[in-house]
Structure 1
Amino acid sequence: MPTISNHYGIAGPVPFADVEIGADNRLYVDPHAIRLHRDPEPFAADALRCIDTFFHEVTNSIIVGTPTSRARGRALLQQFTEPWETRLGMAEAGFHGHGGAETVGTWIWDVLTGDAEAVVRVGVLRHVEDLPLFVEGVDRDITSDITTRIIFSPLADFTESMVHAYPQFHSGGHQTGTFTKQVWDPSSRAWGTRSITLPVADGKPLLLVPRSWARRTLLMSARRFYGTTVLSFAQLEQAVVDSNGKLLVSSKKFLRTHPDLREGRETNLRVTLRAIENEQDLLEAFKAFIASKIPPSEDATDAAA
């Protein structure tokens, strides 16, 4: 099937994810990629403001802890709809494939107010991209869907700028349309609606995504967190000093067989909480590790996990 550039006859490299128009594409919006790359501007800054104000409202509702605040926090997580306008992700793995947005929102809320509440209260779990590390069932598809809905307004602004930059979007028989969409308002810190003009491709609105925001895998995945930061902390926990003063550590391969350290989100959470007791923030360490591995100039769509 034709990509966006093929469909519209746009030549050369383009600044948006050039995905196939008529099919699901195995690329996903990664909120941590937006945070690391911080371009293009002003769209990246606007997107991060949306992401951070939204998640602050959710986590703050837990910290405040009143019935009213908790009801609001839960409701905020249950107002997502399938963001098919980007053509990113796999539909069966997103909201629709998991029983709908309300079900997914309930998963997240139950974990945040259950086992993970401690890491919320101490301010360790504070970003949307932290969710896949601890919430079972939330991986690249759900993270991408959630992020896309939260940053829909900045994505619409980016799309509008691309329509102005490339007249092919509204020439040669191609058209744009005006649609009313749900958006997150970072000023009022509430969901609202906005009238948005988007290209129409194959009879459906098309929302463009900056290239550096779309990846095949998440930078912050549960498996990567476990295999690097969690097991590294466990190595130091169990290290001993021999008679010669040499520090002896168990291999990660060996630690993976330990019943208390088997790979999984429960282990990620349990070890993260142990680290907090020792005044260590494993999420910050993990993010520093990721930043050291991903050059700012890297094209995220070409990056490996």
Structure 2
Amino acid sequence: MRVSEFYNLNRNQGTLDFVDVDTVKDVPVYIDPSTIRHLTDDWGKECIRMLTTFFDSVLDAVRHKDKSRSTYLLGNLGEPNETHLGISKGASAGRGFGKWMSSEFASKLAQSQAAKSGLIEDLEDTAFFIDKVGKDVISDVTTNIIRGPLIAYTHQMALAFDMPLINGVDSGPVWNPQSMKWENGLTDLLLPDGKKLLLVPKAIVRHDLHLSQSDYYRNHLVPRLQSEEEADPRSRLVTVLKSGKRKVYRREIEEKYGRKKPDVRRETLERPDVYRHFKEIKSRVAPDVMSHADLSAASDTPPPDYRELLQAILDTPVGNADANRYHARVEALLTALFYPSLIMPEMEHEIHQGRKRIDITYTNHAKGGFFDFLIRHKVPVQYIFVECKNYGHEVANPELDQLSSRFSPLRGKFGILACRSFKDKDRFLARCRDTSLDRRGFVVALDDDDMSRLVDDVTAAINWTPPATPPKQPEVPPRIEDYPLLRERYRLLVS
């Protein structure tokens, strides 16, 4: 039974920010630390600090041959069954996971030439240079290190969806980046079927690591080996083409050098610049986030039904009595529509020491499309704010001023005002433009008709197919994250 079913959330994976795991079985996806390193919000920065301080401590202990310290650091890692991610674990990550980490992993790390030479800098590097370490072990270790932030995230989601937290549950070892120690304590946690559950943001999970060994071997190491062989006049791997060009085929490289992990490690240690260049390139490219389709396939759940989510909003009676229902339904639709650009929705987010609240606050994680366009045009948009007004009367200046008063250069200066309808939409859009020209921020107003337009645009992008007869000027496929309506409204604010 999935989390959404166990807690009767009336939601599916598309409208949830966390991975909607089965409370018993595992979902075959993994937490990728490289993905976390590209998060820019406060939660992501805390995770990055934990990953960095922990692994730096491990490397420091190993290099100084401080066995007791490395045993302490690695021995507190356990198999994190609370997330229900991955697949059935092998011996190294099974019941003896902590013991294996503190003995065999520590020993291999201490003996590793890659560690001594500085090639191993981050946790994910160990997947290239340490035997028995793959995406499953990297994911498990990462889960242990960021257990504290995952507990905080679970609290946030439990509060948002009224999932009952149980008091006085053993937290398990939590890494403290200040004291550089593991700490245990009691906390509030979800306990479906009496077992601990940690929710994981779907923005940090993948099928494979961003630093993919196959990508490195195929696109970086093999080309280097080919160029070396082609430049060697004595090479027996070279085929001379009719043009006189010297050519070495991939299969020849694989036969001579091998392609298994020990082979890749051996050749990389002789050419460390290849791996460093690979990491530099990957650090500049944001990892792909799993799409709705990817997550649906991995978790065997249906993709979001945007029409159904829209209809729920349209069917909501206007008025204060149904304000909370309207708020929740708007969040469900926007969370599905704007993923993966906007993530980690926080409901009733307090600012100014609780004196003000924001209905919905999203973290801007856009790597393309409209919300990335705002970043590139220097609009402060670390967070995107949404205010929901289920009014039966006209939305006017007070509501506009309420939203713009939540803006700041640090939090963000772009928001969406969701409402049911306007008596004079053009007049209100002009008010939004006035707010922009007064440098009080950018407010895009969306009524029910606009929500329908958003759904139409996203649906059209999903269903787009190239024409049977290609035109003279090839059509550019629409992208889900472009949101043409938002671009139009933004242009009105700045024109």
> TM-score of the superposition, structure 1-length normalised?
0.82
Task: Tell which deviates more after alignment, 51-60 or 238-247.
Answer: 238-247
Q: Secondary structure at the match of 1:231?
A: helix
Name 1:251's counterpart in structure 2: 249
How far is the alpha carbon of 1:221 from its aligned partner? Answer: 3.8
Change (3 A) 1:204 1:302: same
> 2:80 aligned to 73, 80, 83, which one?
83
Which of 32, 35, 39 is 2:34 aligned to?
32
Write the distance in 2 (CA, Å) between the matches of 1:216 and 1:142.
Answer: 14
Q: 2:184 is paired with a residue of what secondary structure?
A: strand
Query: C-alpha separation between the residues in 2 aligned to 1:153 and 1:94?
Result: 26
Residue identity in the other structure for 1:60:
D
Identity %: 25
In the TM superposition, residue 154 of structure 1 has moved relative to its aligned partner by 0.8
What does the per-residue CA deviation read over 1:249-293, in whole Å, with 9 as the maximum and x for residues that have no partner?
5222221111xx2112222222222123xxx25144145247548
Q: Which runs of 5+ in 2 are unaligned?
A: 234-239, 298-495
Match of 2:202 among 166, 190, 211: 211
Shift in alpha-carbon separation, 1:106–1:234, aligned structure 2, 3 A: farther
CA contact (8 A) 2:92 2:132 kept: no
Partner of 2:158: 163
Decide whether the 8 Å contact of 1:54 with 1:186 is kept in 2.
yes
In structure 1, C-alpha distance between the alignment counterparts of 2:81 and 2:293, rounded to whole Å: 19
Task: Say if 2:282 is the partner of 1:282.
Answer: no
Q: Which moved more, 1:286-295 or 1:158-167?
A: 286-295
How far 1:7 sits from its partner (Å)? 2.0
1:57 aligns with 2:57: yes
Corresponding residue for 2:44? 44
Q: 3-state SS of the aligned residue for 2:89?
A: helix
1:134 and 2:136 equivalent? no
Residues in 2 aligned to 1:84 and 1:35: alpha-carbon distance in whole angstroms: 23
* SS class of match (1:256): helix
Structure 2 SS opposite 1:179:
strand
Question: Retained in 2: the 8 A contact 1:184–1:192?
Answer: yes
Partner of residue 189, structure 1: 180
- Counterpart CA distance in 2 for 1:271 and 1:246 is 29
Letter in structure 2 aligned against 1:55: F
Give, as a single letter, the amino acid of the residue that structure 2 aligns with 1:267: D
Is this contact kept in 2: 1:229–1:286, CA < 8 A? Answer: no
Q: Distance in 2 between matches of 1:126 and 1:183?
A: 22
Residues 29 and 213 in structure 1, CA contact (< 8 A), matched pair in contact too: yes
Alpha-carbon distance in structure 1 between the residues aligned to 2:87 and 2:202: 18
The DSSP-based 3-state class of the residue aligned with 2:271 is helix
Q: Counterpart of 2:294?
A: 302
- Could you tell me how far 1:23 is from its partner in structure 2? 1.1
Inter-CA distance 77–248: structure 2 relative to 1 (3 Å threshold)? farther
Q: Quick check: 1:267 aligned with 2:263?
A: yes
CA contact (8 A) 2:62 2:106 kept: no
SS at match of 1:197: strand
Instruction: Calculate the aligned-residue CA RMSD, in Å.
Output: 2.9
Q: Is the 8 A contact 1:29 1:144 kept in 2?
A: yes
Query: 1:214: how far off?
Result: 1.6
State the alpha-carbon separation in 2 of the partners of residues 89 and 154 from structure 1: 20
Report if aligned partners of 1:155, 1:207 keep a CA contact under 8 Å in 2: yes
Report the residue type matching 1:27 in the other structure.
Answer: V
Higher relative contact order (CA 8 A, sep 6+): 1
Q: Across the two proteins, how many residue pairs are aligned to each other?
A: 285
The one-letter code of the counterpart of 1:8 is Y
2:98 aligned residue? 101
Residues 267 and 241 of structure 1: CA distance in aligned 2, closer, same or farther (over 3 Å): closer
Q: In the TM superposition, what whole-angstrom CA distance separates every residue of 1:120-168 from its partner, at most 9, and x where no partner exists?
A: 233321111111111111112211111111110011111111112211x
Say if 1:211 and 1:299, in contact at 8 Å, map to a contact too.
no
Q: What letter corresponds to residue 278 of structure 2 in structure 1?
A: A
User: Secondary structure of 1:234's partner?
Assistant: helix
| Offset of residue 73 of structure 1 | 2.1
